[in-house]
């Protein structure tokens, strides 16, 4: 997809469109890989708030899965990145 060529905003748009247009497709709705890809794109854009929000969505909609566990860890990683960016900007 577009994130391979670093067009993260376009990739986010395409992934979101896929989730909206194919709500009954098990490859989209039963597997939060599209959502995880959106998180990765937001993280690359340093849009940490939206990345965390999508991770919370994964945790809520896919509880007791490895995806939820990974999202919990990812929130911690993103929070650390956000802290580092904030700290660097202050110095």
Q: What is the CATH number of the domain that holds 75?
A: 1.25.40.10
Does residue 22 carry a pLDDT above 70? yes
Band the pLDDT of 33: cuts 50, 70, 90: confident
pLDDT: which is higher, 29 or 68: 68
Instruction: Report how many domains make up the chain.
Output: 1
pTM: 0.81
* Domain range for 43: 2-90
- Which helix or strand (DSSP H or E) is residue 7 part of? none
Band the pLDDT of 69: cuts 50, 70, 90: very high
Q: Name the percent of the chain lying above pLDDT 90.
A: 54
Contact between 47 and 39 under an 8 Å Cβ cutoff? The reply is: no
**Can you say how many angstroms the Cα of residue 75 is from the centroid of all Cα atoms in its chain?**
10
pLDDT: which is higher, 29 or 84: 84
């Amino acid at each position: 997809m577009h994130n391979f060529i670093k067009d993260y905003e376009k990739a986010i748009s395409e992934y979101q469109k896929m989730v909206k247009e194919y709500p009954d497709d098990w490859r989209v709705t039963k597997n939060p890989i599209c959502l995880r890809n959106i998180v990765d794109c937001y993280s690359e854009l340093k849009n940490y708030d939206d990345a965390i929000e999508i991770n919370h969505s994964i945790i809520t909609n896919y509880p007791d899965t490895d995806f939820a566990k990974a999202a919990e860890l990812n929130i911690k990683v993103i929070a650390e990145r956000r802290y580092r960016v904030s700290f660097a900007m202050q110095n």
